[in-house]
């Protein structure tokens, strides 16, 4: 059966009826000719890979230039056609994206030095043009889908890198759809036994829960419509396998504690409708204490907005609801990528994008401090904690939001505000309660730092619990300068005798 662009064209047409479909077809023919005669490790024609990459981007409603860059992303790397040739044929915008992907190069896994270099390239490419990393995610998703063609040791390495680097970056950019795909595809190869165990648990639990959730969905939908609120969509969302695995580890592998395996998602037209629906649900069912989360008033650091509530439903079953508008839903699934739906040129204009780009630029700056050689693992771990780990948001008493990694402490919070506050902190008031400096902070906490201006500097014992590299750096610097002063004093005393 001949390989064609028909399916891709159909996907683009679905989301962008006015798109230049002929240009997409022309780009496919161009890539197909350039890759003629090339095969993948699986034995299939090479063009299948860029075509699949472009289809993933089209599914994400990406504008045509990004889809075309996905079709052409391997052309300069693997064929005689240069980036210049692509510029002459498709223009400089598409050529610059393809050049960005080409600079990233193929990941060869030749030791730590090469690994550091790949990370550096990736962070710099992201800072130059965020669209490049979105194409790279699509490329990686298809590679993970066809990973079985590679030897086991390579499969595991690629899968682990996808779990530890790619998926967390997708999470920080709020691209939930790609994060979940990267995690679940990589999970199968990185931890096959655990993956099989979680799949078995899910299958059983979903079989039991599905008909119950459908019943709750129907009665909730009717109730909302009775109150005169339009429901754009109401559907069950099944938690992805890797997220479930991580949650199970938190709860000693017990499914009894997992209340959001299937969550009901309600999409309504306006923000005011979200709050009205929350009220309707709480009138109908009793909410669980501490499980109402307003991510609309207080969005997550990656821009995620939604209302969450967990309630006791019929027969005492516990169900989670997520309520949001269509725009919030698009942003929750596509993150930073959602904003290109409203801008055909892929221009970064929206404030949400600018905020995300600030984080990407920080990432590009931080790559300079990635050390190769013996310190690589330590610097990579620090990078993972600071930039890739799940984030929490903590409030100052004035209402400012401080973005920190999960498990951060008041000391991390203090240093995130100012180094002088970190150096002189002696205690913390968390939600109006005096707490010790090693207390774990949680999203939504209000933290006030108690300082003592006479304090000479941080305590080196803090190194046992601080999480951010900023806090760690300041504590170490102080310990080092203290030691230097002590040695200098000894020398001076010796000279005076």
Q: Report the b/e string of 266-302 with b at 16+ CB within 10 A.
A: bbbeeeebbbbbbebbeeebeeeeeeebbbbeebbbb
For strand 401-405 and strand 447-451, is the pairing parallel, antiparallel, or unpaired? unpaired
Q: Please check whether residue 448 is in contact with residue 429, taking contact to mean a CB–CB distance below 8 angstroms.
A: yes
Q: Report the b/e string of 66-99 with b at 16+ CB within 10 A.
A: bbbbbbbbbbbebbebebebbbeebeebbbbbbb
According to DSSP, the residues that pair with 325 across neighbouring strands are: 268
Q: Please pick, among 20, 59, 77, 407, the residue that the annotation labels catalytic.
A: 77
Query: Rounded distance, CA 459 to CA 479, Å?
Result: 8
Q: Please pick, among 20, 59, 78, 317, the residue that the annotation labels catalytic.
A: 78
Q: Please check whether residue 319 is in contact with residue 266, taking contact to mean a CB–CB distance below 8 angstroms.
A: no
DSSP 195-211: HHHHHHHHHHHHHHHHH
User: Integer distance in angstroms from the first to the last C-alpha of the chain?
Assistant: 94
> How far, in Å, are 7, 47, 131, 269 from residue 21 at the CA level?
12, 19, 20, 31
278, containing H or E segment: helix 271-284
Tokens (6 digits) for 130: 């965020």
CA angle 178, 344, 233 (to 5 degrees): 55
Say what angle helices 241-250 and 176-190 make with each other, to 10 degrees: 70
Tokens (6 digits) for 300: 């997550």
Catalytic residue flag (residue 77): yes
Catalytic residue flag (residue 78): yes
- Point out the residues that are catalytic: 77-78
């Amino acid at each position: 059966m001949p390989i064609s662009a028909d399916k891709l064209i159909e996907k683009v047409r679905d989301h962008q009826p006015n798109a230049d479909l002929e240009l997409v077809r022309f780009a496919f023919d161009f890539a197909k000719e350039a890759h003629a005669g090339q095969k993948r490790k699986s034995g299939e024609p090479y063009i299948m890979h860029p075509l699949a990459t472009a289809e993933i981007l089209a599914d994400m409603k990406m504008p045509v230039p990004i889809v075309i860059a996905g079709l052409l992303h391997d052309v300069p790397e693997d064929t005689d056609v240069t980036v210049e040739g692509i510029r002459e044929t498709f223009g400089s915008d598409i050529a610059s994206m393809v050049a960005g992907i080409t600079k990233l190069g193929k990941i060869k896994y030749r030791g730590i030095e090469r690994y550091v270099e790949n990370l550096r390239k990736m962070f710099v490419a992201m800072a130059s043009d965020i669209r490049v990393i979105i194409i790279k995610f699509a490329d990686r998703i298809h590679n993970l889908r066809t990973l079985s063609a590679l030897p086991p040791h390579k499969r595991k390495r690629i899968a682990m890198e996808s779990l530890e680097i790619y998926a967390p970056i997708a999470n920080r950019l709020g691209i939930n759809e790609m994060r979940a795909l990267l995690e679940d595809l990589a999970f199968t190869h990185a931890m096959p036994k655990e993956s099989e165990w979680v799949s078995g648990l899910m299958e059983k639990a979903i079989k039991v829960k599905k008909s119950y959730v459908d019943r709750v969905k129907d009665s909730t939908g009717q109730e909302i419509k009775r109150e005169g609120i339009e429901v754009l969509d109401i559907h069950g969302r099944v938690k992805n396998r890797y997220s479930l695995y991580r949650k199970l580890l938190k709860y000693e592998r017990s499914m009894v504690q997992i209340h959001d395996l299937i969550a009901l998602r309600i999409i309504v037209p306006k923000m005011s409708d979200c709050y009205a629906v929350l009220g309707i649900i709480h009138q109908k069912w009793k909410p669980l204490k501490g499980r109402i989360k307003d991510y609309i008033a207080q969005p997550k650091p990656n821009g995620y907005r939604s209302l969450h509530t967990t309630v006791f439903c019929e027969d005492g079953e516990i169900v989670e609801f997520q309520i949001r508008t269509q725009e919030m839903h698009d942003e929750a699934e596509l993150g930073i990528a959602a904003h290109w739906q409203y801008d055909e040129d892929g221009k970064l204009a929206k404030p949400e994008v600018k905020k995300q780009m600030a984080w990407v630029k920080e990432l590009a700056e931080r790559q300079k401090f990635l050390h190769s050689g013996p310190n690589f693992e330590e610097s990579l771990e620090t990078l993972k904690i600071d930039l890739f780990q799940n984030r929490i948001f903590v409030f100052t008493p004035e209402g400012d939001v401080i973005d920190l990694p999960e498990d951060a402490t008041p000391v991390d919070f203090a240093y995130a505000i100012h180094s002088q506050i970190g150096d002189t902190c002696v205690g913390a008031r968390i939600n109006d309660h005096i707490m010790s400096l090693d207390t774990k902070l949680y999203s939504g906490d209000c933290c006030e730092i108690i300082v003592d201006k006479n304090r000479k500097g941080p305590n080196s014992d803090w190194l046992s619990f601080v999480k951010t590299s900023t806090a760690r750096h300041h504590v170490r610097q102080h310990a080092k300068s203290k030691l230097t002063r002590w040695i200098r004093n000894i020398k001076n005393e010796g000279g005076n005798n």
